[in-house]
Amino acid sequence: MDVLHGVLAGVAQTTFASGALTGVLVVAGLADSSRRPACWALAGAALATGGQVLSGTALSSLDAGLPGFNGALTALAVADCGAAATIAAVAFSVLLQQLASHLGLTAMTAPFVIATWCAHGISRLATGQRNTSRITSI
């Protein structure tokens, strides 16, 4: 039950909130708009929480949702690139969070940002897509 609460707390952290009940409300809000993002937020938080726990993160950090929030954010941001890219990006965010922890750095949302940039960059290279910015040079 601690892991489930940790996953939900990880989703709650995406809105700078805490607790499993808040996570349920965030998932419900996402699901009300579209079930797909709700599922990806849960899947990302679950994969990241599982990866963090398997790599030795203290179970006491589950209550705060810290092991799962980067995974939830990454999954939400990369879901449009496909399932394989999303899972790989979440795994990469877990690796980056562990690396920062090992180096004694506070990661905050850096793993999410870096993993998302990498996944979108690789997706653009793989599809041959160029810059999609609508801003034109003057």
Model confidence over 33-91: pLDDT tens digits?
Answer: 999 999 999 999 999 999 999 998 888 888 899 999 999 999 999 999 999 999 999 99
> Burial, 121: exposed, middle or buried (Cβ in 10 Å; 0-12, 13-18, 19+)?
exposed
Report pLDDT digits (tens) over 87-116.
Answer: 999 999 999 999 999 999 999 999 999 999
The correct answer on CATH 1.10.3430.10 for the domain covering 2-127 is yes
Q: Among all chains, which residue has been given the structure tokens 């870096």?
A: 114
Containing 97, the helix (H) or strand (E) segment is: helix 83-102
